[in-house]
Amino acid sequence: MEKIKRVNFISLLFIAIMVTIAPAAAGNETDEQAPGRTMAQQATKEKKMWITADHSKFETLNKQFDSGPEITNACLSCHSEAENQFHKTIHWTWTAGSDLDGAIIGKAGHSLNNFCISGNMMNDKGCMSCHPGWGKSTESINCLTCHSQKDMKWEESFEDFQAFSGSDDPEEQAIANEIQGEILEAVHDIARPTRKNCGSCHFYGGGGDGVKHGDLDSSMTNPNKTLDVHMGVDGQNFNCTRCHTTTLHNIAGRIYTQPAATERKSLVDDDLTSKITCESCHTATPHKQGNKANDHTDKVACQSCHIPDMARINPTKMSWDWAQSGKLNEEGKPYKTKDEFGKHDYMSIKGQMKWEKNVKPEYFWFNGSIAGLSAKDSIDPSGVVKLSHPVGNFDDPGSRIFPFKVHHGNQPYDKINKTLLAPLLSGPDGYWTHLDWVKALTTGNEMIGVPFSGEFDFVKTTYVFPTTHMVTPKENVVNCTECHTGTNSRLADIAGVYMPARDNFKILDTLGWLVILGSFIGVALHGIGRMIAGTNGRKGK
């Protein structure tokens, strides 16, 4: 008997050890880093990009420049193909082909958003501050927008220079020389585009810091690692072009309906592949072997877990109600108010706006394309109009669950033609000058060649931005239970897939727990019965 008992104890011990050790042994908890990180480190090992030219030493760049195009000509005297290349890119054309109805896609075409709504086919000169030419002109490219490391207000600088250099006053001449010196400094300080260059437009889209993108604003000029693990100045210090790889001045990235990458492959598969996707460097199974997260990468984009929230430093605009615009103060003048972030939440010329920080993204199936409406598309004004919306679904192997900033708008539409309208905003004929909707809408729609009946109202719209920057360190990633939960799941609205803990079969769960409850009640009653009967099995004490 003694021996048997001991053997039994040993076997029980064995069970306990086996079951507790099995997962740990298989998981192999060592300090080794995840393979995806190793891959990425190898891909970016040779990150020092060296340059063989010092632009301050070139003769062509050491003369007096009276205008912007003169600088461009100097650039092109060596970089002979640069302008040809650049003229074909979306950065210059602001268009990306036509859709089926013949509407031109792009901000220089018929595309609309729910911020300043339309660029009126380049006729709204207010939008031109971001066009990479000289001032409002679309004749010559401005190489320095992207390549000079010095901040310049070019239009102002040349205006001032012209004004002072013609003067006989030696003091004004001195000022002119000083301005020319600044111009030359900017011309000499040439580099591949840095975060500041790209950010000078992309951080300020929509007319201000962080208006459009929730994941791109001035905080990303010099972010720390916590804000962005790749671009953090205390870490990898990536420039935008590290991932937005460039061919003939064409910069990889999403272009309206066209995905940033049509194929998902890594440098392991193809050493010349674009580095635009996370997978390019990190591969499709970046986590440690056996980590459940590797099983998610076929359906969940890296961004969904690794960017828990956006606008972490600066606020981003979440809604814009144009219908509230046009109010005047007691003195009968347009006015502005500010919110707790110091951002304008009301402007007579723009309407009511809402800003938010630490914004949790919304999630949609996304195959890389975004379907957008143009000024030519008819809408159903009875509901919220999806002005732009991600394309994708569960069954599409190219689709992933992807995080988005959704911007809510309330903007004018044509009550008769059932189309969204494109008001002209800036300039003497623009809404911002006269606050007359009918006038602004008539002029604006004329500019894009789309009829306006004269009758308008406002309709609620949504516009989406994929969230892909502000990748957080791994300590801060989204937890399993933020999605795998029945209450307030981040993926509450994601259809097409059963998710443990988020989903259940109501009838089965109800029935199941009833059976369990029934079992307990059954044995309890049986046991009570035995106690009352005073019998315990066949012995009958």
Partner 1 sequence: MTSKKTTNIYLYTRYERFWHWLQMFLILLLLVTGFEVHGAYTFMGFETAVTVHNYTGLAWLIAFAFFVFWVFTTGEWRQYLPTTRKMFSVIRYYAFGIFRGEPHPVPKSKDAKHNPLQRIVYLLLAVTLLPVQMLSGLLYWGYNSWADWGIGWLSLNVVVFVHMAAAFSILSFLIVHVYMTTTGHSVTAHVKAMITGWEDVEEGAMVEAWEQKIRK
Q: What are the residues binding partner 1 (CB under 8 A)?
A: 1, 4-5, 7-8, 11-12, 15-16, 18-19, 22-23, 26-27, 292, 295, 298, 479-481, 484-486, 497-498, 500-505, 508-509, 511-513, 515-516, 518-520, 522-523, 526-527, 529-530, 533, 535-540
CB 421 within 8 A of CB 375: yes
State the nearest-atom distance from the C-beta of 223 to partner 1, in Å: 29
CB count in 10 Å sphere of residue 478? 19
Nearest distance in Å: CB 400, partner 1: 14
Name every residue whose Cβ is closer than 8 Å to that of residue 509 and which is 6 or more positions away in sequence: none
383 CB neighbour count, 10 Å cutoff: 9
Q: How many Å apart are CA 206 and CA 283, to the nearest integer?
A: 34
Diameter of the chain measured on Cα atoms: 126
Q: Which two tokens stand for residue 271?
A: 């050493």
Q: How far is the CB of 6 from partner 1 (least distance, A)?
A: 11
Nearest-approach distance from CB 498 to partner 1, in angstroms: 5
What minimum distance in Å lies between the beta carbon of 75 and partner 1?
52
Q: Is 67 strand, coil or helix? A: coil
Closest CB 265 distance from partner 1, rounded Å: 18
Q: Are 353 and 346 in contact (CB under 8 A)?
A: yes
We find the least distance from the C-beta atom of residue 72 to partner 1, in angstroms, to be 53
Contact assessment for residue 134 and residue 67, using Cβ atoms and an 8 Å cutoff: yes
Residue type for position 227: L
Residue 361 Cβ vs partner 1, minimum distance, rounded to whole Å: 21
Q: Residue 279 CB, nearest distance to partner 1 (Å)?
A: 16
The answer to whether residues 471 and 448 touch, using CB atoms and an 8 Å cutoff, is no
At 31, list the tokens: 């300090």
Residue 166 or 486: the one with the smaller Cβ distance to partner 1 is 486
Please say whether the beta carbons of 175 and 164 come within 8 A.
yes
Structure tokens given for 155 = 């239009």
d(CA 380, CA 14): 68
Residues 6+ apart with CB under 8 A from 468: 215, 303, 307
| Residue 358 vs 519, nearer CB to partner 1 | 519
Nearer to partner 1 (CB atom), residue 5 or residue 48:
5
Single out the residue of 276, 322, 321, 326 nearest to residue 302, CA to CA.
276
